Structure 1
Amino acid sequence: MNPILDAFWYILPAYFANSSPVVLGGGTPIDMGKKWRDGRRIFGDGKTWRGFFGGLAVGTSIGVVQHLILPSYYGSLRIAVEVAFLLSLGTLIGDLIGSFIKRRLNLPRGYPAVGLDQWGFLISALCFAYPVRTIPTGEVLFLLVVTPIIHWLANVFAYKMKWKSVPW
Structure 2
Amino acid sequence: MVPAYVPNSAAALLGGGTPIDFGRACSDGKRVFGDGKTYRGFFGGVLCGVLAGLVQIWIWSSFGLTALPHHTLLSVMLLAAGALLGDLGKSFLKRRLGKEQGESWFLADQYDLVIGSFLLILLVYPQWLFENITLPIAVWIVVMTPLLHRVVNIIGYYIGVKEVPW
TM category, shorter: 0.7 to 0.9
CA contact (8 A) 1:159 1:167 kept: yes
Gaps of 5+ in 2: none
Match of 1:70? 60
* 1:51-108 alpha-carbon deviations (Å, 9 max, x no partner): 000011000111111111111568xxxx522111000111011000000011011111
* Pairing partner for 1:32 from 22, 28, 35: 22
Match of 1:120? 112
What is the number of residues matched between the two proteins?
154
Match of 1:162? 160
Gaps of 5+ in 1: 1-10
CA contact (8 A) 1:67 1:73 kept: no
Q: Which runs of 4+ in 1 moved over 6 A?
A: none
Given the alignment of the two structures, is residue 22 of structure 1 paired with residue 17 of structure 2, yes or no? no
Match of 1:133? 128
CA contact (8 A) 1:13 1:88 kept: yes
The CA deviation at 1:147 is 0.6
Alignment of 1:137-152 (within 5 A): 137-152=135-150
Aligned residues: CA RMSD:
1.5
Match of 1:5? none
Match of 1:153? 151
Secondary structure class of the residue paired with 1:57 = helix
CA–CA distance in structure 1, aligned partners of residues 153 and 18 of structure 2: 23
Matched to 1:144, the amino acid is: V
C-alpha distance 88-73 of structure 1, shift in aligned 2 (>3 A): farther
Percent sequence identity is 41
CA–CA distance in structure 2, aligned partners of residues 14 and 43 of structure 1: 20
TM-score (norm 1): 0.86
The CA deviation at 1:13 is 0.6
CA contact (8 A) 1:26 1:46 kept: yes
